[in-house]
A and B are shown apart, each in its own frame.
Chain A
Amino acid sequence: MAEEDAPEVELSGEQKKEIAKWFLLHSPGGEIQYVAKDVRSVLDDDGAYGEAASEAFPAYNKAQMICLDMPRGMGEVLITSFGELEENQFLDPRTAQVGIVDHVKQVCTDARPATDEELPSPYIEEFRCALDAEVLKYVGEAYPKGVCSVYSTKGKDVEGPGSDFELAVVIQAARNSPQNFCTGSWRSVWNIEFKDDIQILELRGKMQVGAHYFEEGNVQLDTKHECKDSTIFQSPEDCAISIASIIRHHETEYLGSLEV
């Protein structure tokens, strides 16, 4: 192999940054810190790495929907685009706190109470809260290490009946066992449209499962599934029960089909 003839083309800082970003963004769930260490070593250019990290980590964290502990035992916050108030501030609707986050270190450095403008109206909050309680129950039973959150995504300031609004349910479960060379993640996002005029709720679910086994090789599973359903518009508590049972039904069915 004529290696001596190969021209030593030095990559520009921009090119190195793009390559580093690509590697970081394609890390399997829960492995970005390991990938980051290797990328840094291979890149040999801390400036380009720093830039790549500052762009890649926020996108990765949101896509993976990572869960971070808020300081002073205030609970957990999920990093999702639904809860993003600013690039490093994420709302946790359950505790009405906003976590301030360092994306690259993947920690929540501080938390503050949410302002009234950041929270939904009392009318919407009734629905959100009831649904949150039901989903929490479901996730507690179905997922050994699952976390969830319910966000108001559209019409959060709706004061009373007469307008449409939307909520989003996010469920995430991750299992990281690097000593056993195995990691996995389950992510599901359910968008629920509350259609006031026809008194119907329309649900759209998107489930994504990933697994990575790397003991004597590199084996990865990546699956996605979408589904739809609908139910009638009722009181907040009845809506919540109905929605949670639809979610439970579809997710169980999907899991069953994966086994095959």
Chain B
Amino acid sequence: MEAALGLMRRMPPKHTETALSALLSLLPRHSSDLLSQVDQPLQVLCDIDGGKEFILCEYNRDADSYRSPWSSKYHPPLEDGTQPSPELRKLEIEANEIFAIYRDQYYEGGISSVYMWEDDNEGFVACFLIKKDGSKTAHGRRGYLEEGAWDAIHVIEVGPEEDGTAHYCLTSTVMLSLTTDDESSGTFSLSGSIRRQMNMDLSVAEGHLCNMGRMIEEMESKMRNSLDQVYFGKTKEMVCTLRPPAEITQMRMPES
């Protein structure tokens, strides 16, 4: 299993799906572990009732059907599909509305979905997902990218309330993929994923959504900076190590 995860860290992120299905066919007994630990680009379905799209993931799946956050119905239809409790469903609906506003403000487009379900410890788990296609042909307002995708998955485990506070554990994964193709610099393709965690104990006075929203906002901000440093910073550093820019070589010449 460790070897399988090791492979996933080395294979080109663009081929994540192929690599994962190869591993699933080699290790069928580890399929649930693999599916929950390996980040895959998010897929989308359209909710027939609302006409809105929703994101698919392990957390809204039951057998081969997926539950829409808008109508809470399974697509394709499923008898007795798992549903959250009515109170949790109310929270889920509110979360979806608020998250859609957040998404519009930060992402200028894209698709978002929130799913919640009860866990075994009297708490619950919420999963916030965002998918943005920034390519020229889709939502890309700035028009540079041939192909561009931002997929974010935030899973928050909320512990039971104790003395007016609750424990929140957030695990966030962002998958980013950029491809440009132009005359002067040829094809440029940068892609990958990063995962971070954050734990906090917060007062429930203003409600769970407020706390979760704040944590996600802070986390996304941090991750966006990390991404800048990691994606662009580290790779640029590597390219410069391979072949230092001209100014450095000019400086060396006078010595020799």
Contacts and interface: CB of A to CB of B under 8 A. Distances in A.
A and B from one complex: yes
Interface of A: 1-3, 6, 8-9, 11, 15-16, 19, 22-23, 26-28, 31, 34-35, 37-39, 41-43, 141-146, 173-175, 182-186, 207, 209, 211-226, 251-252, 254-260
Interface stretch (B112-120, B135-143, B161-169, B182-190): B182-190
A38 B190 contact: no
A189 to B, nearest CB: 14
B10 A175 contact: no
Given A28-B10, A186-B242, 8 more contacts: A11-B26, A143-B243, A211-B234, A213-B230, A218-B10, A219-B234, A221-B189, A222-B12
A38 B4 contact: yes
B243 A186 contact: yes
A26 B16 CA distance: 11
22 contacts: A9-B25, A19-B22, A28-B10, A38-B6, A38-B7, A142-B249, A144-B241, A145-B242, A182-B238, A184-B239, A185-B242, A211-B238, A211-B239, A216-B230, A218-B13, A219-B230, A226-B186, A251-B243, A252-B246, A255-B245, A257-B184, A258-B188
A144 B235 contact: no
Nearest to B236: A259
Contact of A223 (B63, B186, B249, B253): B186
Contacts of B28: 6, 8-9
B13 A175 contact: no
Contacts, number: 173
B109 interface: no
A195 B190 CA distance: 39
A26 B15 contact: yes
B219 to A, nearest CB: 14
Contacts of B249: 141-142
A226 B29 CA distance: 46
Interface stretch (B67-75, B147-155, B192-200, B207-215): B192-200
Contacts of B238: 175, 182-184, 211, 213, 221
Contact of A213 (B4, B184, B235): B235
B245 A259 contact: yes
Interface in B10-43: 10-13, 15, 18-19, 22-23, 25-29, 31-32
Interface string B228-256: 00110011101101111110010011000
Interface of B: 3-4, 6-13, 15, 18-19, 22-23, 25-29, 31-32, 63, 184-196, 230-231, 234-236, 238-239, 241-246, 249, 252-253
A137 B243 CA distance: 14
A138 to B, nearest CB: 10
Contact of B3 (A41, A142, A145, A255): A41
A15 B234 CA distance: 37
A64 to B, nearest CB: 14
A213 B231 CA distance: 8
